[in-house]
C-alpha cells in the first residue's frame, strides 16, 4: 500500500473529508513519528507496534569490489517492533 492509497482510503472512510485534508492528517502523523525518532524518543501505537532507535556499533567491513577493509562508523537506525495484536492478525491462516 502506498501513501496515496492510504490517503484515499481515509477520505473514503471518513465521509466529508477531502483527499487534501486526509493528506494533511497522514503527513502530520508521519512527520510527528520522524520528529520523535530524530529526538531519540520512542513512538508507541498500541495494537500496532513501536518505533524506536537502535544503536549500531562501529565495525570493520570489506569493500566487495576491491576486497579492501573499511571501517564503518557507529550509527543509529530506526527499528519497528510489531505489536501483539498486529502480529496475531498477520499470522492467522
- Per-residue pLDDT tens digits for 44-75: 999 899 999 999 999 999 999 999 999 999 99
Rounded mean pLDDT of 26-46?
95
Give the span between the Cα atoms of 36 and 19, in whole angstroms. Answer: 26
The domain made up of 50-93 has a fold known as HU Protein; Chain A (4.10.520)
Helix, strand or coil, per DSSP, at residue 45: strand
When comparing pLDDT for 49 and 93, which is higher? 49
Helix, strand or coil, per DSSP, at residue 25: helix
Give the span between the Cα atoms of 55 and 27, in whole angstroms. Answer: 27
- The whole model's pTM is what? 0.79
- Residue-level pLDDT at 92: 85
Contact 33, 22 (CB under 8 A): no
Give the span between the Cα atoms of 76 and 51, in whole angstroms. Answer: 13
**DSSP letter (8 states) at residue 82:** E
Name the residue among 53, 61, 51, 55 with its Cα closest to residue 82.
51
pLDDT tens-digit profile of 5-32? 999 999 999 988 999 999 999 999 999 9
Amino acid at each position: 500500500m502506498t501513501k496515496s492509497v492510504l490517503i484515499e482510503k481515509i477520505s473514503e472512510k471518513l465521509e466529508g473529508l477531502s483527499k487534501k485534508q486526509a493528506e494533511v492528517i497522514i503527513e502530520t502523523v508521519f512527520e510527528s513519528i520522524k520528529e520523535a525518532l530524530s529526538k531519540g524518543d520512542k513512538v508507541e501505537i498500541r495494537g500496532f507496534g513501536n518505533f524506536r532507535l537502535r544503536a549500531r556499533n562501529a565495525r570493520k567491513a570489506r569493500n566487495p569490489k576491491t576486497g579492501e577493509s573499511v571501517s564503518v562508523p557507529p550509527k543509529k537506525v530506526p527499528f519497528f517492533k510489531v505489536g501483539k495484536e498486529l502480529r496475531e492478525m498477520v499470522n492467522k491462516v
